[in-house]
Amino acid sequence: MKYTENFDGLCEALEGAGAFLVVEDKHGRVNTMTIGWAQVGFIWGQPIMTVLVRPSRYTHTSLKNATHFSVCVPKRGELKKELAFCGSKSGRDYDKIRACAMTLKEGAEKGLKYLDGCALVYQCGIYGKTELKRETMPAPALAAYYPGHDAPHTLYFGKIIKAEKFQ
């Protein structure tokens, strides 16, 4: 599938219960978290998926030395309990994949894993990152999403290696 196909399905998931971000850290431990923010586009001559992760999240630590990540969109109406669990529990304390009885599959490259049984899967190689800065953000976004002195998200850019739709 071309990376731009089924964009509406990705957006529907992000606007709803979310999607899974899956990352294998430098020690081979795989973690997943629920995301509600992502972008797909064409940057630096490459198809790119951008995901946002707060520095306080365990996944942020996992991404620091990772080479890949995947974004897995469940089939409509499925895996809602798993999305809720993975969005409310930390990988520091739980093996969320095991706790949710989800199955990992090998991706297109070494160090790339994704969740079996999802409708859409974007397999990405980390292509760069940047940290959002409070001083460059609009006041309404700061007030709504970063109360107090919460650190803004880091944007991770993933070159889309493979995008797949499953039945």
The class of domain 7-131+154-165 in CATH terms is: mainly beta
Q: Tell me the C-alpha distance between 128 and 165, whole Å.
A: 25
| C-beta atoms surrounding 119 within 10 Å | 20
Sign for the pseudo-dihedral over CA of 115, 59, 110, 37: positive
Return per-residue pLDDT of the chain as tens, 167 residues. Answer: 899 999 999 999 999 999 999 999 888 999 999 999 999 999 999 999 999 999 999 999 999 989 999 999 999 999 999 999 999 999 999 999 999 999 999 999 998 999 999 999 999 999 999 999 999 999 999 999 998 888 999 999 999 999 999 97
Q: What is the pLDDT of residue 167?
A: 79
Residue 147: the pLDDT is 87
**What pLDDT was estimated at residue 83?**
98
For residue 102, what pLDDT is reported?
A: 97
Give the bridge partners for 113, in sequence order.
106
Q: Say how many residues make up the chain.
A: 167
Whole-number pLDDT of residue 150: 82
Q: In the chain, where are the structural domains located?
A: 7-131+154-165
Tokens found for residue 71: 């974004």
Cα 134 from Cα 137, distance rounded (Å): 5
Strands (E), 2-97: 19-24, 30-35, 38-43, 46-53, 68-74
Measured CA to CA, the distance from residue 85 to residue 74 in angstroms comes to 14
